[in-house]
Structure 1
Amino acid sequence: MGGKSEVNGHAMPGSASTDRIILEQTEELQKSCREKLWQFLRRNLLVILTVSGVLVGVGLGMLVRSMDLDRAQMSHFAFPGEMLLRMLKMIILPLVVCSLVSGAASLDTRSLGKLGGIAVAYFLVTTLIASGIGVTLAFIIKPGVGAGALNTNSLGLESVSSNKETTDSFLDLARNLFPANLVAAAFRSYATDYKMVAAGNDTNGTTIYQKVPVGTETDGMNILGLVLFAMVFGVALRKLGEEGEELIRFFNAFNEATMVLVSWIMWYIPFGIVFLVGSKIVEMEDVGLLVTSLGKYIFASILGHIIHGGVVLPLIYFGFTRKNPFSFLSGLITPFTTAFATCSSSATLPSMIKCVEENNGVDKRISRFILPIGATVNMDGAAIFQCIAAVFIAQLNNTELNAGQIFTILVTATASSVGAAGIPAGGIITIAIILEAIGLPTNDLSLMLAVDWIVDRTTTVVNVEGDALGAGILHHINQQEMKKQQHEDKELEVVRVDAVANVEAEEETSPLVMRQTKVLEGMPEAIESVL
């Protein structure tokens, strides 16, 4: 039988042919497993490298910390991380302007108005919820109670002074919305300063001085003004019709080229993150004293970020889309890690746009319209820690906050987070505005600055998470509207066919039917965005 044992013509188990088949199947299974593993690694290589970069950075920082480097050596050690930040910041200006111009120009005015309205409502509501969480946690955990002995001198910190009036802070926000010079707005923003001017003499002959606000320019991109200009300019190009098409195509091409640059920069992120995180650990003074002194404040802030980012925002996303928010967020690990390492919403914007489009399939017109705005005005994480900081400083100074002051904290934190710079430690200035609004001293701000590098990491992650989920919600709403519009178009198509049949069948037709047919024949087949 040639070594084969057969029963009724079938090979029995244990025969050579059966062994060969089992061996081939095993090899195929192993091969398919290897291929799947290889595909997974190729697809998620950047994510794995970026997360590994944070862990390697922590280990390297601890190792180098024991070497007692001087200031110059520390700055040299931090150089690769500084290069990453410079690259990311370099790409922000073309990315924000071009993406918003092309995004606003690709949506019709009615759609733009509705999209913008939903986005603003989402940003305001989520930031107000975040402020509420911050105030509630501060009153439950009471980080400042019993810490009256804690002052600037005990930790050896320099005092941070802020003499800016609340009114001027909000007026500066409005002024920055309309920059006097667009070129200057790319690297400077408006800020009010004060000078003392002689305003006459009193009865004793002593000169009376008056504090007069004067306009100054501070270093730092005025993203708020650029965002508003780019949106309005995009709408204006859309209104031009055919004449504006050439310029719209230019901005679209510029935008795509910028995204190619982003994809190249993203491969440097894992290496840069190692030194960004490592250098921060090396620069730490006495972290033990800071954490024990301000431990409750740090705990309250990070807990607020976990509640808002892990529960509230995913629930809002699920409520709108009925989809799993965590599968959406799993495609955004790279931008979240970048946010954690850089502490900058603006620097995270390039990788966020790329990942939201490629991993989560969000429409380019939606993502490139909403994410630059979100990176500028949507600061949920900042609102949480600012509210906790305000209540913390009140408790530190044994000040009982009344209902009016609590309401002022909520409203001021929500409103002023719009103007907060999307840069590391940008929220400290905003806390000064809140403290001025409720009449508390700003000399304890240095305590916030001392631990800001810890709290700012989770703050930025929550900020960018809110932007990404907002883009996902808007994409879902747009998809639903498009389906609804397509359904209506099909119904209209049926009416059109019936109307044509009537025209052909009858010699004398109603002029209304003729007019309706012509109107329907002139309708476009597809509508780009139908919100």
Structure 2
Amino acid sequence: MSHPCSIKFSKAEDTQARNLFPSNLVAAAFQTYATDYKMIIRNKTLGNATFEKVPVGTEIEGMNILGLVLFALVLGVALKKLGPEGEDLIRFFNSFNEATMVLVSWIMWYVPVGIMFLVGSKIVEMDDIVLLVTSLGKYIFASILGHIIHGGIVLPLIYFAFTRKNPFSFLAGLITPFATAFATCSSSATLPSMIKCIEENNGVDKRISRFILPIGATVNMDGAAIFQCMAAVFIAQLNNAQLNAGQIFTILVTATASSVGAAGVPAGGVLTIAIILEAIGLPTNDLSLILAVDWIVDRTTTVVNVEGDALGAGILHYLNKKDAQKSRQELSEVYVEAVANCKSEGEMSPLVTHRIPASTPSSAAEPEATESVL
């Protein structure tokens, strides 16, 4: 009788919770933890066999994005807690980020040529070109529809829930910034026009607009987050990959984190899709298809980004104005009444004397004291 044998499953399932805490940060840059499975045959007697599926932890090729992002967040909080001592390292990372963006801007000059060859190779590899074009059309439609729902329903409802005002009348004064965002695909290029229109047309306090809008142009990228999730799911379906619950959660978390760090320039969110694809184990060479149609999707993405910034400034302006009115109302209700006390005459200045008028039948039970200065 043969001895028990084991059969190894070819499909590996990522353990997302384990990847949040990498054992080695250097190894996390090119390896990630995954759960593999082995099928072990037990009780192989009298022709009957019992199969048992046993999970086995292993390291596979691929960047551990979740662990690196979590470490970066914790390190950022620690540097902030250090105060002046951590500013040197913060300046180093800022300079490194700016240098990286300069390199990316140089690379973007050669992107059209690269996209042409990448898309050409992808078309040659496809067995059904019509299926590829149809899939790209569905991706474009789904992305634009998601932006319409978020920008036309979700964001206005949030504004109405806080202010109880018509959000579309607020957005009507921002037609020029929205047109600029649609034409340039850049949140940073829209910033001067947005500040001018939101202060002059909507009456937002300049202290609020000039604080919120520059931060929102870099941090608040809800349109980019929607677009990145759509792109990741599209590439997964293109490769016939079934996404489990852990991978979907990873897409949501990674898209939110990477959209915060995305640059407010055209095609700035496409580069961060590679981070999401690495996190869920999908090939990054399919990004050429996303880049080929990004000039369409990026327009609605930028419009939703700047709309979220504007509505956020409007909500903060309303809440600040409401608190100021409440404070003024509380101050107007405070009255200070001073009543002279004749019993404390000995403790007062000798220059002040009190005369108590004779009580009359119509006077109150306790006479009022009048003061005179000698």
Q: Same fold, TM exceeding 0.5? A: yes
Q: Write the deviation string for residues 122-149 of structure 1: whole angstroms up to 9, x where unpaired.
A: xxxxxxxxxxxxxxxxxxxxxxxxxxxx
Q: Does 1:472 align with 2:314?
A: yes
Give the distance between the partners of 1:506 and 1:367, measured in 2 at CA: 57
1:211 aligned residue? none
Please show how residues 100-115 of structure 1 align to structure 2 within 5 Å: none
The equivalent of 1:327 in structure 2 is: 169
Using the alignment, how far apart are the partners of 2:212 and 2:343 within structure 1?
A: 54
Matched ranges for 1:53-68 at <5 A: none
Structure 1's 436 and 184: CA in aligned 2 closer, same or farther, altered over 3 A?
closer
Distance (whole Å) between structure 2 residues aligned to residue 506 and residue 377 of structure 1: 66
Which digits, 9 at most, give the CA deviation of each residue in 1:211-241, with x for residues without a partner?
xxxxx744179xxxxxxxxxxxxxxxxxxxx
Q: Comparing both structures, which one devotes a greater share of its residues to strand?
A: 2
Matched residues in 2 for 1:458 and 1:420: separation?
A: 16
Say if 1:324 and 1:481 are closer, same or farther in 2 by CA, change over 3 A.
Answer: same
1:194-205 mapped onto 2 (5 Å cutoff): none
CA contact 1:379–1:417 (8 Å) conserved in 2: yes
Change in CA separation of 1:453 and 1:170 when aligned onto 2, cut-off 3 Å: farther
Offset at 1:404?
1.1
Preserved CA contact (<8 Å) 2:63 2:279? no
Q: CA deviation at 1:171?
A: 5.9
Contact 1:297–1:392 (8 Å) recurs in 2: yes
Q: Distance in 1 between matches of 2:250 and 2:232?
A: 11
Number of aligned pairs?
A: 253
Aligned residue number for residue 275 of structure 2: 433
The higher-RCO structure (CA 8 Å, 6+ apart) is 1
Which residue in 2 is equivalent to 1:219?
A: 102
- Report if aligned partners of 1:172, 1:190 keep a CA contact under 8 Å in 2: no
Distance 2:304 2:70 in 1: 24
Query: Which residue of the partner structure matches residue 366 of structure 1?
Result: 208
Please say which structure displays the higher CA radius of gyration: 2
| Counterparts in 2 of 1:366 and 1:442: CA distance versus 1, 3 Å | same
Counterpart code for 1:300: A
Normalising by structure 1, what TM-score?
0.44
**Structure 1 CA distance for aligned equivalents of residues 173 and 259 of structure 2:** 27
- The alpha-carbon distance between structure 1 residues 217 and 351, as it changes in their structure 2 partners (threshold 3 A), is same
| Distance apart, 1:190 and its partner CA | 2.8
Q: Distance in 1 between matches of 2:70 and 2:286?
A: 22
**After TM superposition, where is structure 1 displaced by more than 2 Å over at least 4 residues in a row?**
167-185, 188-191, 288-293, 504-509
Q: Which amino acid aligns with 1:314?
A: P
CA RMSD of aligned residues (A): 3.2
Match of 2:181 among 339, 355, 380: 339
Q: CA deviation at 1:507?
A: 5.4
Match of 2:361 in 1: none
In structure 2, what is the equivalent of residue 414 of structure 1? Answer: 256
Task: Tell me the distance in 1 between the aligned counterparts of 2:64 and 2:287.
Answer: 16
Which residue pairs with 1:508 in the alignment? Answer: 344
Residue 172 and residue 444 in structure 1: after superposition, are their counterparts in 2 closer, same or farther (change >3 A)?
A: farther
User: Secondary structure of the equivalent of 2:266?
Assistant: coil
How far does the alpha carbon of each residue in 1:436-473 deviate from its partner, in whole angstroms, 9 at most, with x for none? 11111111111111111110000000000000000000
Instruction: Output one character per residue of 1:479-512: Cα deviation in whole Å (capped at 9) or x when no partner.
Output: 11111111111122x1xx21xx23x455539x9x
| 1:305 matches 2:147 | yes
CA distance in 2, matches of 1:393, 1:406: 13
CA separation in 1, counterparts of 2:259 and 2:91?
23
Q: How far does the alpha carbon of each residue in 1:331-381 deviate from its partner, in whole angstroms, 9 at most, with x for none?
A: 001110111111111111111111111100011111111111111100011
